[in-house]
Amino acid sequence: NNSSQLSSLPLQILLYVNGIYYIFYFLATLAMMIYKSQVFSYPDDLLAPDLAVLFLMAILEVPRSYLGFKGNLTEAEAPLGLSLGLTVGSVVLCVYLLLWQTYVLWADVLLNAVLLSAYGLESGLKVTAIAAFVS
Amino acid sequence: AGLCVCDLLVAQCDVNCCCDRDCSAEDFSLFTTCSVPVVTGDSQLCSQKAAVYSLDVEANPPERIFKLIDQVNPSIFCIHATNYEQALSLKSPEIPTPENFDQLLDKFGGATFSAEPESWNLDTDAENPPDANETSRYEFGVPVQTEDAFLRLPSPVVSSWCSDANPAGFLVNQATKCIRSVSVEKCDSIQALSMLFYINSSILAVKSVFQVNISVQSIVVQSLNGMRTLLSSTDVLRLPVVLDGLCINAVLGVNYHITHTDTGEIIEAAAAFVLGAISKETLSIEQSFEISFTQENTEPVPLSGNPGYVVGLPVRAGFQPQGYPFPAAFFFAALALSSNKHSQLTILHSTSTQDCLAAQGARAPVLFGYNMISGCKLRITAATECQPLAQTLLDVLKGQSFPEYVASFGNSQAQDVLDWVPITQLLISEQMISHTLQSSCQIPVSLGIEVKWTKYGSLVNPQARIVNVTATITSTTLKQLPSGRERIIPITSSVVFTDISSPAEPSYKAWPTIDIKLPFDFFYPFV
């Protein structure tokens, strides 16, 4: 039944890899925030927003990833569309961590850049998948 | 500009400081080397500009070379960017202005400052009420407060002259003697000679709450030749007056007795005075002051050591109260202790007259560790009767109340009956080999008290403990003298302290045991 398979294999692979990478990203960023708070002068009223953004992104990641998997496998465009919307939110938070954090280390730049590119590629693949499901 | 660390002098050129902007080209030509070769910002940044200074000594005159390079931090944790201006510099302190002065004073004006001043204030407010009660009680050593200042106990400070500024400490028993300069003309103007000076201000019972008046306990008047008389009435306050060229009622000594509760409150204060007379020739008198503290409802019994006896302190003794004849009841009876030192263990005190019958009052307390011997001479005539003489000599030797028990430790309490050692009394009669075998009465001629003590406790801090006390009375027969003749017999009494400590026993730790057990299934296939 391969001719009528609409689920996108690259999207599935990317979603899976992104999930694993996100876990690594979350732990690394949290560890670096702890390191920054010990080594640099990091007042509490600047540390709180940064930590809040990181945890918010983690909370968004779970439904975003789940909806992406479900939508792609069931070839339904609604969950995939919702996942796309959540991806936009995650992208915004990622940009915050890249540009407007109190201290942006070189490692921060690398991690966030990789995540941002993964999100970008994922969004493109989701759009084509939705187009394929709708038509 | 602020990054040049060798630029210390303001508007002046620092020597060998190549980054100092106050230096001109002529100054640079005098330098020998650059003390600070590289000036950068924070080295944690990923890439930054660095100024490199070096001195070209070959040129004539030497000149400074300045290069601006890009320094790169290769670490992956270098700071790429910061969104926080004060991140990498020290925070400059707030300059006080009329607007923020009050807030800064609140924050930094106290003895301590913390990050959260509000929470600090709340804690101290909550703690204040119980603290106020705690500090109002007297503690050991705290000066006893009176209405105006402190209870004064005049004492010699640097020289022997009296200083009135010595406060009496609570529970600190003190006795001081000092010299005060006096004259008969200024008899009633010198305050320290008047009784009123010492009992005028009342003592505060609990540090500024109640007041306790100092009552006059007793007044002893001492005459010029040293004889003291106890006055019967203490109601009248006797102030110094000039009478017949003498200043009478001058205070020669004060003895304060303060009674306190066990919670640190003073409930009673009494003063016993010794008043004397000052003659015209006297330029200075010696005043003696003493203060003692007693807890209410207790009898003060001074300890002779804690726990072992201290050499030089009196051996404590006591009596078993009457009415407890049965041994079973013995364990519940407490010994009657007396704080009167004359019913302690005492021996005869030799006097200058050396006459036994005249010296019946003088006794000396037995001090632990001090062997003593004393005696007197007894004159016997033909007319002396034996029986009364024997009784008199027994009184002379043993004193009015010879105790029955001696404390084995210096701090033995009267209710611990087992801590007390009974005095064994031995009677030895010297049978003089006489021509006649008639039974004649014996008179005691010597009393020997032997106190056996041992070292008790640990080897590094042994405590003296009395184990055995034996009082031996040696008596001899009184030979009848022919009339007209008289004889002098020496009577002696002695105290000997003998150390019967057994040698120290070493104690070793137990040998370590080897605890081997075979595993449960060692012989598995067979057992």
Taking CA B476 as the corner, what is the angle to CA B470 and CA B481, rounded to the nearest 5 degrees?
A: 155
Average pLDDT, chain A: 92
Q: What are phi and psi of A122, to 5 degrees?
A: -60, -45
Q: pLDDT for B156-188, tens place per residue?
A: 888 888 888 888 888 888 889 999 888 888 888
Judged on CB neighbours under 10 Å (0-12, 13-18, 19+), B491 is: buried
> Which of A20-34, B121-135, B231-245 tops mean pLDDT?
A20-34
* pLDDT at A112 > cutoff 70: yes
Give the model's confidence band at A124: pLDDT under 50 very low, under 70 low, under 90 confident, else very high.
very high
Whether A104 and B86 lie within 8 Å, measured CB to CB? no
Mutate: best of A36, A38, A41, A112, partner B, most B CBs <10 A? A41
pLDDT tens, B400-409?
Answer: 888 888 989 9
Question: With pLDDT > 70 as the criterion, what percentage of chain B qualifies?
Answer: 86
pLDDT digits (tens, 9 = 90+) for B463-482: 999 999 999 999 888 777 77
**Residue A83: its pLDDT value, please?**
95
User: Beta B246-260 vs B284-295: how paired, if at all?
Assistant: parallel
pLDDT tens digits, A65-75 = 999 999 999 99
The pLDDT value recorded for residue B333 is 43
Give the Cα separation of B162 and B153 in Å (integer).
Answer: 9
- Dump pLDDT digits (tens) for B34-75: 888 888 877 888 888 888 888 887 877 778 888 888 888 888
B297 pLDDT higher than 60: yes
Q: pLDDT at position B207, please?
A: 64
CB pair distance less than 8 Å for B80 and A41: no
Q: Which of A127-131, B198-202, B300-304, B517-521 has the lowest mean pLDDT?
A: B300-304
- Predicted local confidence at residue B450, as pLDDT: 94
- Chain A contact probe: residue of B46, B75, B80, B92 with most A CBs at under 10 A: B80
Q: CB-CB: which of A35, A103, A110 is closest to B82?
A: A103
Window A:49-88, CB contacts with B under 8 Å = none
Q: Which residue has the higher pLDDT, A14 or B345?
A: A14
Cβ–Cβ of B78/A105 closer than 8 Å? Answer: yes
* Boundaries of every domain in chain A: 9-134
**Is any Cβ of chain B less than 8 angstroms from the Cβ of A40?**
yes
What is the per-residue pLDDT across B106-155, written as a single tens digit (0 to 9) for each? Answer: 878 777 666 554 544 444 444 444 444 455 678 888 888 887 788 888 88
Which residue of A lies nearest to B85 if distances are taken between CA atoms?
A102
- Predicted-assembly ipTM surpassing the 0.95 threshold: no
Task: Say yes or no for a CB contact (<8 Å) between A102 and B81.
Answer: no
What pLDDT, on the 0 to 100 scale, is given for residue B135? 56
Query: Which of B79, B84, B87 is facing A105, going by the closest CB pair?
Result: B79
| First-to-final CA distance of chain A | 18
pLDDT computed for residue B329 by the predictor: 35
**A50 vs chain B: nearest CA distance in angstroms?**
12
CB contact under 8 A, A105 and B77: yes
- Once rounded to an integer, what is the mean pLDDT over residues B292-313? 80
d(C-alpha A83, C-alpha B351), whole Å: 118
Return the pLDDT at B473: 92
> What are the contacts of B321-330 at 24+ separation with CB within 8 A?
B330/B417
Chain A residues inside the 8 Å CB shell of B78: 105-106
C-alpha–C-alpha distance, residues A108 and A103, integer Å: 9
In the DSSP assignment, the letter for residue B200 is S
**B244 Cα distance to chain centroid:** 46
Alpha-carbon distances of B216 from B38, B290, B496, rounded to whole Å: 87, 14, 43
Please give the residue that has the higher pLDDT: either B31 or B328: B31
In angstroms, the separation between the Cα of residue A73 and the nearest Cα of chain B is 39
Residue B90 contacts A where some CB pair is shorter than 8 Å:
no
pLDDT band, very low/low/confident/very high, at B328 (cuts 50, 70, 90): very low
Written as six digits, the tokens of B124 are 């101290």
Mean pLDDT across chain B, nearest whole number? Answer: 80
Q: Which residue has the higher pLDDT, B336 or B167?
A: B167
B514 part of contact set with chain A, CB < 8 Å: no
Residue B325 — very low, low, confident or very high, per pLDDT cuts 50/70/90? very low
- Closest residue in A to B45 (Cα) is A105
